[in-house]
Each structure stands twice: as C-alpha cells, then as structure tokens.
Amino acid sequence: MNILGYRTVENHTLSFELLVDDEPIGKVVGSSDTAIPYWLFKNGVALSPIARLGSGTEKRVVAVCACGAFGCSCIRCDVVQSWDGNIVFRDFTRNLFSSNSVFNLLMFSFSAVNYDFVVTDIFQKIQESKIIQQLEIRSAKMRKLKS
C-alpha cells in the first residue's frame, strides 16, 4: 500500500503538489507536471472527498504543468474506491486529449483514512487561504479609508 501526501506551494497561486510515498506524483510517473492550483480542487477537477467520488470512472487531475494551466499539460487518472475500501489511482493519462500513454498501467493504492485526511486537509488549507485573503482585502480598504 502506498502513502498519499502533499505539500503546499506557491505556483502563480496557492497550489498543492501530491506526493506518493514522499515523492512528487509527477516525478513518480515520469513527468515534469507538478502542483495543482487550488481552484481545480474547488471546481471538482482534482481530488474530491470520498463521499463525492461516485461509482464511475471519472478522470481526476493529479498534477499540472508548471505554468499552472491544466489545459497546457496535466496528468489525470481514475480515482476509485476499491472493493476493500481503499482508494486507487489508476489508468493514468498525460493530458486532456490522450487516453493512451506509456504510464497508464501504473496503479497506486491508499487507505481510505490516508486519502480522506489528505483531501480534507487540502480543502481546509483552501478555506484558510480564502479567509486570509478576505481579511487582507478588508485591511487594505480600512487603510484606504483612513488616508
């Protein structure tokens, strides 16, 4: 079983680099694609909580081009809950337009607890960032009113 993790990075905006066994997922699958911008989580394009995974095989973005645009280049895979309750990343594709690639046979399995912790923590960080941005905007408005 693999271990899912992440690190927060500033890549044009708040972004999250997924880690598989402490290695960036882009590196593990042999790509230069890296961190996922926060808005791809909010829009449901990247990972989502277990309750929202569904039973189908919908591709999720797990790494994005360094420019931050997933339309430029990205790694996607099916994120499914297996019969034993684990979360599996499988059937990797290199970009939005390709369903075939050398690495589409890779598969990673994570415990549901591990996956849920990482996804919940990412969404918490996004919410905290939003609150901080709102406070900074209010503070700037107050300074402007005082001058």
pLDDT per position as a tens digit, 70-121: 677 888 888 988 889 899 999 888 765 544 555 667 899 999 999 999 999 9
In DSSP terms, 15 is beta-bridged to 9, 37
Number of domains composing the chain: 1
Cα distance between the two ends of the chain: 59
In DSSP terms, 64 is beta-bridged to 34, 74
pTM for the model stands at: 0.83
Comparing 43 with 101, the larger pLDDT belongs to 43
Range of the domain at 27: 4-146
Say how far apart CA 24 and CA 66 lie, in whole Å. 13
Average confidence (pLDDT) over 59-78: 82
Percent of the chain predicted with pLDDT > 90: 31
